[in-house]
Amino acid sequence: MNNSKIIAFGIVKAVSILLLFGLLLLFIYKIQTAILYLVLSLIFSLIANPIVEFLKSRLKFKNTLAVVTTLFIFLLLIVGIFSMFVPLILSQSSNLSLLNTKEIENNIIDITSNFNEFLKNHNLNSNNILNPDKWLSKINFDLFTNFFNSLLSTISNIGMGLASVFFIAFFFLKDKLKFIAGAKTLLPDKHEDQILNSVSKINQLLSRYFIGLIIQLVIILILYLIVLLIFGVQNALIIALLCAILNIIPYIGPLIASFIAAILTMMSNINGDFQTEILPTTIYVLIGFFIVQLIDNNISQPIIFSNSVKSHPLEIFLIILIAGFLFGIVGMIIAVPFYTILKVIGKEFFPENKIIQLLTKNL
């Protein structure tokens, strides 16, 4: 009897835990937008914090005034960027053939046929490889159009999110000391100093990382745009912007960006002669993108990874590779910040460990 009660109690307890866990997941799903705003606000706070500290230490601003001034500077910057780029992006994207699924398919068929004809003229038979009827039916072109349309929709409806992020970030920056004081009351006294030192170091490193990442993306955007404008590619701004955004994905992103740039370059010159206009222009654009990636890989990325998060490029490569295998593209994007957090925590709590000493010697 007692055993039956124990088993029944165990079953009820397990079901209750599963039910609570399911409700927790449902709750998180329902408030995912709010969680996203919190994460973005935290990242924005890390980026803005050095400016706040500069205004307070060098210009002797009061805390609230420094925060308001910093947010106002960012607001002016965002408004300036939107006023310059968004109208161009929206006007160009309305004419971009990628927003029409049927036109994508027709353009790719034309490009493939022209390429086949080009190979035939050089005594090469590629019908078995490049026959559109064999593989076009397997491609869901709606994935491309849905992605670009959702991106444009996000840009056009970003006002509410931007206001929310600014509002939350204001209090993150203004009441940072209050949050730290509140956290102290919850922290165990034994590890209080270690935890606070970890938070301070993480804040410093991630602030530098995200600022460097933004600078890197702006540089890549400008370089991509220059390449596309040099070779007269239509819709150069929207193509450069999309390719720059894809560079957020380490290593794989630039390859995808080059592929998309090649396809869009061909489509933008679809009415030209394939052998004398379309193919040479596409090759030149790919060479230009390759040069941009050389600049990025040898200048931008080493500065961000080595100087910002104090990690060796090979170390970062392996971490991103492992994160990609385990968690896909999302894992690759968050690999560097998450690994940096783990390194800081490891150095504070396990300073005697040989492996941690090796990995954190530059922190």
Whole-angstrom distance, CA of residue 239 vs CA of residue 69: 34
CA dist 243 → 13, 236, 249, 280, 311 (Å): 51, 11, 11, 20, 26
Token pair for 304 = 């961000």
What is the reported pLDDT for 316? 83
Q: Residue 246 in contact with residue 144, Cβ under 8 Å?
A: no
Give the number of other Cβ atoms within 10 Å of residue 46's Cβ.
23
User: Which H helix or E strand runs over 64?
Assistant: helix 63-93
pLDDT attached to residue 226: 92
**Nearest one of 111, 122, 120 to 281, comparing CA atoms:** 111
CA-CA distance, 26 to 32, in Å (whole number)?
10
Residues 121, 88, single domain; the answer is: yes
Provide the pLDDT for residue 69. 92
- Report the pLDDT value the prediction gives residue 104, as an integer from 0 to 100: 53
Residue 335 pLDDT class (50, 70, 90 cuts): confident
Regarding whether 187 and 41 lie in a shared domain, the answer is yes
Which single residue is written with the structure tokens 């001034």? Answer: 69
Q: Do 95 and 142 touch, CB atoms closer than 8 A? A: no
Nearest-10 crossing angle of helices 63-93, 142-156:
140
| DSSP assignment of 303-363 | IIIIIIS---HHHHHHHHHHHHHHHHHHHHHHHHHHHHHHHHHHHHH-TT-HHHHHHTTT-
pLDDT grade, residue 106 (50/70/90)?
low
My answer on whether 264 and 339 are in the same domain is yes
Which residue range(s) make up the domain with 21? 1-30
Q: Are residues 26 and 166 in the same domain?
A: no
Residues 50, 44 contacting (CB under 8 angstroms) = no
- Written as six digits, the tokens of 10 are 């165990």
Residue 290, Cα to own-chain centre: how many angstroms? Answer: 20
- pLDDT per residue over 182-217, tens digit each? 777 777 777 777 777 887 788 888 888 888 888 888
pTM value? 0.68
Q: Where does the pLDDT of residue 328 fall: very low under 50, low under 70, confident under 90, or very high at 90 and above?
A: confident
d(CA 94, CA 356): 52
Phi, psi of 158 (to 5 degrees): -85, -10
Helices (H) and strands (E) in the chain, counts: 16, 0
Among candidates 363, 337, 338, which has minimal Cα distance to 351?
363
Pair (98, 6) in one structural domain: no
Count of structural domains within the chain: 2
Looking at the fold, whether 38 and 20 belong to one and the same domain comes out as no
Of 133 and 204, the structure prediction assigns the larger pLDDT to 204
On whether both 139 and 77 belong to a single domain, the answer is yes
Tell me, yes or no, whether 354 and 331 share the same domain: yes
Q: Are both 118 and 261 inside the same structural domain?
A: yes
HSE (CB half, 13 Å, CA atoms) of 247?
A: 27
The answer to whether residues 55 and 74 belong to one domain is yes
89 & 153 share domain: yes
Mean pLDDT score across all residues of the chain: 77
8 with 91, same domain: the answer is no
Q: Hey, is 126 helix, strand or coil?
A: coil
pLDDT score recorded for residue 111: 64
